[in-house]
Structure 1
């Protein structure tokens, strides 16, 4: 599963990107708003200083401006403190200023109702008429602070804000991840339900799913119903075909016998072989169809020890089986995931072939992996013959006609269950046939 195809990763990535974008916008937006707030606070403070200066401003006997108040902040008396004021005489010229200006000066500015930025100052400038007993004089009062105070407050706020936004963003991403996990739970349930369908095709998915997933489950149920119906129809067609071929096959056998009675031995033999081949093909296809239908019914199991004992008892009563030593080395209650009747269809011909070609002994056993093993001490097959048998789908005979048919039927039965046959040399000197699952 690549990351680009992971719904979880894509949702988490998009959510994290949205949160990062929102956090970035929030950071710059809150920082800007806080800076505006600080400016308003300093503007109010400058207004207070302006009013204090205006209240203490007088014209002395020397006809010069003087400031007689002591209510101003001490910072105005500290050189280059960042707090400054200046009063300019607009009629006679000259000015008075705070000690904090030292040898510097404030920039020239126009009157304004509110403080504003100018160079690196945040300055409030207003003109007013200063009245005395004998005259009135127009003056301009300018009060300013260094914008470094605003920047410092903004930067400190931004530093704190960045930490908390980072913390908030992390929490939100975790919550998004939790939301995605909870949101994907119905899909996990859907996966489990589909796996159950694979193991038990006869079952159907229930309606205990979210509304968004329910149409999908209903579609899957309809698909399974259609599949089951198609399998049943195929089974019925196979049965009808087999039934329909019985009469033609019987007619061929009768014709073969008639030709034989009339002395046409070659033609009779050809017809007889043709009818036997057709019968084998029909039997094989019917066996495979029944196996496929059994697989669709759901989980099955087969007590291989019990089945083997039953088959051996039957074969022990045959002419070729009664003279053999049958050895069963299977642990009781060993189960294989195959239908009992289908396993009998597959194992029966293999045991019959082993009995026909064995000299004295046939051994049926299982290994640690529950693979079923049949050994005989007959003539066996060469390595090339076994290889060719496997490559050709185990559909021909290298020892006799019955062997090829048995291998073919067993292979057809096992294939729908995901099992197959392995041919090997037996320690007894004959053929070893192994029933085992097909490796993925």
Structure 2
């Protein structure tokens, strides 16, 4: 399989601060010879001078990141091998920037959860992973990330102790069971700084028989839901008018097709109203196409004039979606001001924005004890919880499991305009609750 035929793989790095995520990505780019010439020359010169190359600097784009030695924003890097093309999202490990990790993970096909072996607590009967490793793993579970590589890093500082590596893998397997992680999990012993098991097998881990990181990434399947196979779902972003006073008035509905396929002549209905029509024509960026599938940005016209505006959804005539106002959802809280059950927030889902109120917090997930705190009165910064919410206007939404594009939303504080939470719809309020 060549890079031109293998599906593009989007992956992120996750884990706690200082676990070596940026160094891992820098080393991967360096060893796979996918850096620019001047970047390679700079790292090679450092090595020749007896200095340790600063691999993390390859992904730290902000001046504050380089000064503080931490990752703040999501850094995207693109590279390709003969087998596949990749998009990497190097996400922050610091708890303060968990919201940025959620942004990077929302479109990932895979995640590398980096665990610093030197910071795992071995003092008790079982090793204890860092809280942010647990939190990031829970977020990956909520976002439905299909493949996770647990890269146990800095093993060179533990003399590549196989027993400690195996203990860490057992600790993560237990974590995966406790949070209901459904991803395919792979374990990998590495030293990002020294390049052990990054591109080539390391002679210092003769007890490890699996693939190094790069060949493993090249072999991962892309198993995200095939949105094109779902019933058509087209959230209207903009209504385009050419000349409202002319006899050949043009009225087009613009946006991105989030699910399914559409073609001229298809019968559709408009939600939430339910009025029906047929598609007259479909236009893409280069002109008339007559058809489109999920992921394409299009303009479509109908055979009759309907009252349609931004926030409405055009769906297949046989679509099972029924607009609703009550939902159960998972929330990741991003704001320093806790969630207030007495306040209204703006909920933005797709192209629709409406007022919403959280009617109940079913529980909050305790990242330290891996337990659920029942009857919690609030969600605080970086908390993950299960909530019930009601919206002022009905939403033509799906569950996140059915289609992330139409099952995700954000909450916005009306007063500050801050994005305070990211949410994933799990079910309507009438259905059973879900597990984190």
More strand by share: 2
RCO higher in 1 or 2 (8 Å CA, sep ≥ 6)? 2
Higher helix share: 1
TM-score normalised per structure 2: 0.21
